[in-house]
Structure 1
Amino acid sequence: MATPHNVVIIGAGFGGIGMAIRLERAGYRDVVVLEKAGSIGGTWRDNTYPGAACDVPSHLYSFSFEKRTDWTRRFPPQPEILEYLEHCARKYGVLERVRFGTEVTGASFDEAAGLWRIATTGGELTARVLVAACGQLNRPALPPIPGRDAFAGTSFHSARWDHGADLRGKRVAVIGTGASAVQIIPEIAREAGALTVFQRSAPYVIAKPDRPYRDWEKALLAAVPGTHALSRAKTYTLYESRALGFIKYPKLMRVVERQFRKELAARVPDPALRARLVPDYPMGCKRILISDDYYPALTRPNVEVVTEPIARLTEGAVVTADGAEHPADVVVYATGFASTDFLAPMRITGRGGRDLNDAWRGGAAAHLGITVHGFPNLFLLYGPYTNLGHNSIIYMLESQHRYVLGCLAAMRRAGLDWIEVRAEAQAAFDRDMQDRLHGTVWEAGCTSWYKTENGKVTNNWPGFTFAYRNATRRPDPRDFHAHRTP
């Protein structure tokens, strides 16, 4: 067996690249990043659909240690975010550490050796520490619609966009009205002959305060020290204040909801169409979307919004529960991701042969969203309870990076082979999360990708991001079992 690596990271998106950079800067040289695709980027590599962009401003949706002053827009489009990640990977030497085309199929902890044995499509390797940076939005979810395979036209998921498909003049069906759909629909409505939007649940879509950065603004950000930091701090503070409505005082969302209804009335004059676009759940229960062109696109004469449930697909149509057939040449599944499965389909086995999928059968749980009892030296990035509805996930990832480094530094100082979070520490954290989630807007009576099938919210952090940063400032030794080989 080859010499084990110090750290193996699964995934080369924001989480994995940032972790590799922080490890390098902390002096860890033997770090390997395993990436199943042929390039880096994670979700920003996979989602190349028309109109793909971020809904967090660029100055905040970037690493704190690698500022960029020449973003073209306030809300960055997908190609720019991917280019930024590639720049970071090149600048900090991450690319040399990535093994592309290497998919992890499973990993098991060898307690006697104190190592993770990692099975990949390129063979087995071992590591003292395993970091899973797979994210929550990496496995496209296709709906179990009867006859889906019978459809004879072109069909694909939004995260696997078929750029060879010519939509000009075609009859296009978009299934889903989530975050991807509200960006896709305005783009393809301009070229499709007929566009049918199948809506199961109406989203809240509010104005997007986007605009290009002027040349003088970019020059100022680059030339004057502190201006970029000020812009970042201002944006952070504005977005952080939104947590009050999500978590502390859900009734505040009613004010925003009233404004939404006023704007919807102004953008959609047809009362019948407008009625179909009013959500039937409290604002914030599902992800709030931002767009300036989604509602205008739905009012185009070549666009139809269908709210009847889909019964099945035929060779050339989408059939709804009322028996109506909606002819289609192309079907786009904008149906989101398997967000609550986290590390699936990998099989992760911990001490005593404990299977992570079995441990998480009632819903994923991890102490601080990072460590799991029974799985020593395994660290999750963007794990359970770390998603946000109001701020930048990059801020959360950087908090997790620091926590992982703190754990590794403590192990190094004490000469430990591995550490494992105590069952009682993880259980206490999980109880605290569920107690704090009770009464939040996410539990206000809707289904969403934040929840498991049994209705348990496992994805979101029920608090301010600065509170999470404080909680992860340094690992508490009392939370862990420690092991040193005699």
Structure 2
Amino acid sequence: MAERSALGTAVIGAGIAGIGMGAQLKRAGRHDFLIFERADDLGGTWRDNSYPGVACDIPSRLYSYSFRPKQHWSRRFAPGAEILEYLRDTAQAEGLAPHLRLGETLTSARWDDESGCWRLTTPRGEYSARALVMAAGRLSEPKTPGIPGLETFPGRAFHSARWDHAPLDGLRVGIVGTGASAVQLVPEVAKVAASVTVFQRTPAWVLPRGDRALAPGEPQPDRAALSAEAEQLFDSRLSGSPELAALRAKAETHLRAHVADPRLRAELTPDYELGCKRAVFSDDYFTALQRPNVTLEPSALTTVDGTTAVAASGARYELDVLVFATGFETTRPPFARLVTGRDGETLAAHWADGMTSHASTVVHGFPNLFVLDGPNAALGHHSAFEVIEAQLGYVLGALERLDATDAPLEVTADAEAAYSAEIDRLAARTVWVTGGCSSWYRDEASGRLTLLWPARVSEFRDRYGTFDPAPFAQPIPQEVRA
């Protein structure tokens, strides 16, 4: 297999982070990069999730690149197809087409200490790159539970992120899960299906959405004001705060206003603190659950026997379709198995006890590697674009540093350990750790908060939006190495 041309930067993934990285590389005058995307189209999460009702739960105005704001959104909370169109338009406007390698999957990336570069392998060839940017995201690998007997189910069974667009009209549909995807798709499926059974292992806190159409020519909401409002929401993620109590009261009021039946209301009331798991937003989920063709099963799906789905309660349901709205592989990203660092250690092995990093972007033992939207880089109160854009600035600064020296950049083990300790200290005050639940925000082995940045996003931008060489091992001068 012949090696293709050497690259300055290889970017893995063409979702929000990968497209943003490509745009900023191009704007910085760096044209020696490629963006590898395993799918046949760009868009990441918004390409993969096409289920009925899919939409953003962050105000549209905040859900775009600050360097390329969309002038008009159709709704206060943008539909998924509109976000995907925005990402495609951005890639075109930023001139990324020549740099995209769609349908080309990374199969391995290995650091070569002798040449000081990454050796990449795909089914189409081999590449070398001075810097490697992992932009594969945290919502790219669907998680489907191992349900005994599922192989005997004769109907259609699929994950919400791999939506089967064949009609559901007149069919008996089971939906497993009650998280962010489920609360969006249940009301839509209920409009056409003969019956819908929602399997609820754990109820979600539901907050009112307040969505509405934005008329053409209507002034768009002020981005700065929306950002400030979102930033203030962080206080409602602090354990015992009055802001958290007020938000919980808002969710309880929303539930009481829409569910009169005390039994159903009790089944929909979580036994953990609001925000411990991801809070969801909907104006019509509770209403949909009370339709005559919808049944809330307040226990998990445990087994399948042919067309019969059996719940933990012992209840049995005859189904034609099973939809798994059961989330993603978040704390143990599959791409980590493909990346091998300086000492032959894979990123997955390095993260065996949970993801760690420095600045949520760089990892000891993996020179010139930058992970976007990875360890502690997600937000529980604001737009994903905020941290991603800060990371893009960090990577650009690191590349400038690489230009100025002939030595690889590797963050020290001490810096990574100190950052992890700080994350733990900040996380200890939040509902994500103290709220009495298990969630995809925390590593299943260590219990550490490994997905979310546990402070205000302005703090992340101020501290890690630019590159600081201090936490990196100092390069050995050329004359000493000679």
Q: How far apart, CA to CA, are the structure 2 residues paired with 1:308 and 1:15?
A: 37
* Structure 1 residues 237 and 391, CA gap change in structure 2 (3 angstroms): same
**AA partner of residue 317 (structure 2):** H
The runs of 5 or more residues in structure 1 that have no matched partner are 222-227
Q: How far apart, CA to CA, are the structure 1 residues paired with 2:154 and 2:5?
A: 51
Which of 333, 346, 357 lines up with 1:366 in the alignment? 357
Q: Is 1:14 the equivalent of 2:16?
A: yes
Which of 412, 415, 418 lines up with 2:408 in the alignment? 418
Q: How far apart, CA to CA, are the structure 1 residues paired with 2:102 and 2:225?
A: 38
Which string of whole-angstrom CA distances, capped at 9 and with x for unpartnered residues, describes residues 126-174 of structure 1? 100000001111100001111122211111000000002x211111000
Q: Secondary structure at the match of 1:452?
A: coil
Q: Secondary structure at the match of 2:409?
A: strand
Q: How far apart, CA to CA, are the structure 1 residues paired with 2:191 and 2:67?
A: 40
**AA partner of residue 236 (structure 1):** S
How do 1:98-247 residues align onto structure 2 when only pairs under 5 Å count?
Answer: 98-164=100-166, 166-218=167-219, 231-247=222-238
Conservation of the 8 A alpha-carbon contact between 1:247 and 1:462: no
Which string of whole-angstrom CA distances, capped at 9 and with x for unpartnered residues, describes residues 395-422 of structure 1? 1110000000011111212x22410000
TM-superposed deviation, 1:430: 0.3
Q: Larger deviation: 335-344 or 72-81? A: 335-344
Q: How far apart, CA to CA, are the structure 1 residues paired with 2:312 and 2:200?
A: 13
How do 1:49-88 residues align onto structure 2 when only pairs under 5 Å count?
Answer: 49-88=51-90
**AA partner of residue 422 (structure 1):** T
Q: How far apart, CA to CA, are the structure 2 residues paired with 1:67 and 1:346?
A: 35
Q: How far apart, CA to CA, are the structure 2 residues paired with 1:195 and 1:473?
A: 46
TM-superposed deviation, 1:337: 0.2
How do 1:275-286 residues align onto structure 2 when only pairs under 5 Å count?
Answer: 275-286=266-277
* Structure 1 residues 156 and 149, CA gap change in structure 2 (3 angstroms): same
How do 1:276-425 residues align onto structure 2 when only pairs under 5 Å count?
Answer: 276-344=267-335, 346-413=337-404, 415-425=405-415
TM-superposed deviation, 1:474: 2.4
TM-superposed deviation, 1:3: 3.8
**AA partner of residue 114 (structure 1):** G
TM-superposed deviation, 1:433: 0.3
* Structure 1 residues 214 and 309, CA gap change in structure 2 (3 angstroms): closer
Q: How far apart, CA to CA, are the structure 2 residues paired with 1:330 and 1:301?
A: 19
Q: Is 1:258 the equivalent of 2:258?
A: no
TM-score by length of 2: 0.96
TM-superposed deviation, 1:250: 3.8
TM-superposed deviation, 1:344: 3.1
Superposition RMSD in Å: 1.4
TM-superposed deviation, 1:475: 2.1
Q: How far apart, CA to CA, are the structure 1 residues paired with 2:337 and 2:97?
A: 24
**AA partner of residue 330 (structure 1):** V
Which of 24, 34, 39 lines up with 2:36 in the alignment? 34
**AA partner of residue 109 (structure 1):** W
Which string of whole-angstrom CA distances, capped at 9 and with x for unpartnered residues, describes residues 227-273 of structure 1? x7xx0001000110000111375453122212222221110111111
Q: How far apart, CA to CA, are the structure 1 residues paired with 2:429 and 2:475?
A: 40
Q: Is 1:435 the equivalent of 2:421?
A: no
Conservation of the 8 A alpha-carbon contact between 1:416 and 1:482: no
Conservation of the 8 A alpha-carbon contact between 2:336 and 2:346: no
Q: How far apart, CA to CA, are the structure 2 residues paired with 1:73 and 1:5?
A: 40
Q: Larger deviation: 174-183 or 248-257? A: 248-257
Q: How far apart, CA to CA, are the structure 1 residues paired with 2:5 and 2:278?
A: 45
Q: Secondary structure at the match of 1:125?
A: strand
Which string of whole-angstrom CA distances, capped at 9 and with x for unpartnered residues, describes residues 427-468 of structure 1? 000000011101210012101110121322100101000100
Q: How far apart, CA to CA, are the structure 2 residues paired with 1:431 and 1:371?
A: 15
Q: Secondary structure at the match of 2:362?
A: coil
Q: Is 1:460 the equivalent of 2:461?
A: no
**AA partner of residue 112 (structure 2):** D
Task: Specify the alignment match of 1:224 in structure 2.
Answer: none
Conservation of the 8 A alpha-carbon contact between 1:418 and 1:482: no
**AA partner of residue 187 (structure 1):** E
% identical aligned pairs: 42
Q: How far apart, CA to CA, are the structure 1 residues paired with 2:337 and 2:121?
A: 10
**AA partner of residue 428 (structure 1):** A
Q: Larger deviation: 252-261 or 385-394? A: 252-261
Conservation of the 8 A alpha-carbon contact between 1:15 and 1:135: yes
**AA partner of residue 462 (structure 1):** P
Q: Secondary structure at the match of 2:133?
A: strand
TM-score by length of 1: 0.95
The runs of 5 or more residues in structure 2 that have no matched partner are none
Q: How far apart, CA to CA, are the structure 1 residues paired with 2:324 and 2:38?
A: 23
**AA partner of residue 277 (structure 1):** L
Which string of whole-angstrom CA distances, capped at 9 and with x for unpartnered residues, describes residues 79-119 of structure 1? 11000000000011112211111111221000000010112
**AA partner of residue 181 (structure 1):** A
Q: How far apart, CA to CA, are the structure 2 residues paired with 1:311 and 1:133?
A: 35
Q: Secondary structure at the match of 2:243?
A: helix
